[in-house]
């Protein structure tokens, strides 16, 4: 949906993925690249990443499978809505703070992006509350507690301690 690039400036940050080379940009998108509506900065530092996230209207996390979905939390932690795949662990991580789409449907992605554009989630009371809930749930302290309560006893049981 190249028309999305008329509304949104899309920044695809990060190095190429596993077993993935930077493919040639399809002709239908080349004009958007020339007009800087579609930008590929490559690798970005953590500082640059959080700056991009903080000033973005939304982040996009298209994934077929994730073990956790840390980029979703990174986006939400700075108050930026995340349009994310409704797959694997992502809905558990993003809760009610994300706008979800079917990762096998371009139409679903398009509708999710249009929803974010129409509703204006960033800063809305419901979105801010959903992000606050996630910030309370996903803390280093909670992670340590889960390790101590669940993992350590299991390790001891297997080690015979």
Task: Compute the distance between CA of residue 115 and CA of residue 39 in angstroms, rounded to an integer.
Answer: 22
Taking 3-state DSSP, the helix, strand and coil percentages for the chain, each rounded to the nearest 5, stand at 55, 10, 35
Contact 64, 85 (CB under 8 A): yes
Cα–Cα distance, 49 to 116 (Å, whole number): 21
Question: Quick one: pLDDT at residue 21?
Answer: 65
Q: What is the pLDDT of residue 53?
A: 96
Q: Which domains does the chain have, with CATH numbers?
A: 44-159 (3.40.50.2000)
**Contact partners, residue 138, CB within 8 Å, separation at least 6:** 73, 93
Mapping DSSP onto H, E and C, the string for 55-98 reads HCCCEEECCCCCCCCHHHHHHHHCCCCEEEECCCCHHHHHHHHE
* pLDDT of the residue at 20: 64
Report pLDDT for 26: 85
For residues 122-142, give the mean pLDDT. Answer: 92
pLDDT at position 30 over 80? yes
Q: Check residue 51 and give its pLDDT.
A: 97
Q: What pLDDT score was predicted for residue 161?
A: 65
Whether residue 4 contacts residue 110, with contact meaning beta carbons closer than 8 Å, is answered with yes
- Half-sphere exposure of 64 toward its Cβ, with a 13 Å CA cutoff? 3
In the predicted model, what is the mean pLDDT of residues 92-121?
Answer: 93
Q: Where are the beta strands (DSSP E) in the chain?
A: 10-13, 38-42, 59-61, 82-85, 98-101
Spatial CA neighbour of 75 closest among 52, 92, 108, 104: 52
pLDDT digits (tens, 9 = 90+) for 13-22: 988 776 666 6
Q: Would you say 125 and 97 are in contact if contact means Cβ atoms under 8 Å apart?
A: no
């Amino acid at each position: 949906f190249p028309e999305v690039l008329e509304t949104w400036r899309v920044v695809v940050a990060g190095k190429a993925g596993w077993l993935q080379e930077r493919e040639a940009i399809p002709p239908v998108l080349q004009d958007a690249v020339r007009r800087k509506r579609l930008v590929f900065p490559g690798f970005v530092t953590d500082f640059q990443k959080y700056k991009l996230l903080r000033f973005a209207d939304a982040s996009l996390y298209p994934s077929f499978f994730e073990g956790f979905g840390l980029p979703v939390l990174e986006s939400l932690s700075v108050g930026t809505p995340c349009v994310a795949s409704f797959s694997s662990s992502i809905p558990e991580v993003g809760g009610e703070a994300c706008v979800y789409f079917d990762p096998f449907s371009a139409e679903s992605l398009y509708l999710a992006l249009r929803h974010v554009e129409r509703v204006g989630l960033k800063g809305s009371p419901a979105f801010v509350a959903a992000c606050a809930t996630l910030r309370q749930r996903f803390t280093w302290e909670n992670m340590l507690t889960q390790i101590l309560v669940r993992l350590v006893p299991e390790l001891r049981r297997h080690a015979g301690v």
